[in-house]
Amino acid sequence: MQKIKSKCQRAISRLGNSAFARKGMLAMGAVMLTVSDMMAASKGAAGFTKATQEVSSYQTPVSNLMKAIAAVIVLVGAFNVYFKMRAFV
């Protein structure tokens, strides 16, 4: 078992020290960096545009909902004032 382990370690060491492995890893890193930058650039701007459109599409319904909630609060407050004024008369 020790022989197999030592042979595997030597093989990994030789592969890690080879010029082919270093060049391959460098190329792989360059490709991954380029692809990730391209994907981030293309989806980032489109994502912000889509999010802005979605948020602005909710503006009118949310505004109407807030007005309805405010109207209910005003009515409840007005009735409370009216009933308290009637108690003093």
Whether residue 8 contacts residue 2, with contact meaning beta carbons closer than 8 Å, is answered with no
Residue 41: pLDDT band (50, 70, 90) is low
pLDDT tens-place string over residues 5-28: 887 778 777 766 777 777 777 888
For residue 78, is pLDDT > 90?
Answer: yes
Sequence-distant (≥ 6) Cβ neighbours of residue 21 within 8 angstroms: 15
Mean pLDDT over 80-85 rounds to 90
